[in-house]
Amino acid sequence: MSKLLLALFCTLLAPAAHAAGDALAGRQAFAKCASCHQVSIPRSGFGPHLHALIGRPAAAATDFRYSAAMRNSGLVWTEDALRSFLKAPDTVVPGTSMRFRGIGSEREIDDLLAYLRTLR
Residue 36 binds to ligand HEC (criterion: CB under 6 A): yes
Residues 49-88, mask of contacts with ligand HEC (x by CB under 6 A): -x--x----xxxx----xx-xx------x----x---x--
CA–CA dist 61, 69 (Å, integer): 15
CB of 108 to ligand HEC, least distance (A): 8
CA–CA dist 118, 93 (Å, integer): 25
Residue 53, sorted as left (phi over 0), alpha (psi -120 to 50) or beta, turns out to be alpha
Which residues contact ligand HEC by CB under 6 A?
32-33, 35-37, 46-48, 50, 53, 58-61, 66-67, 69-70, 77, 82, 86, 96-100, 103, 112
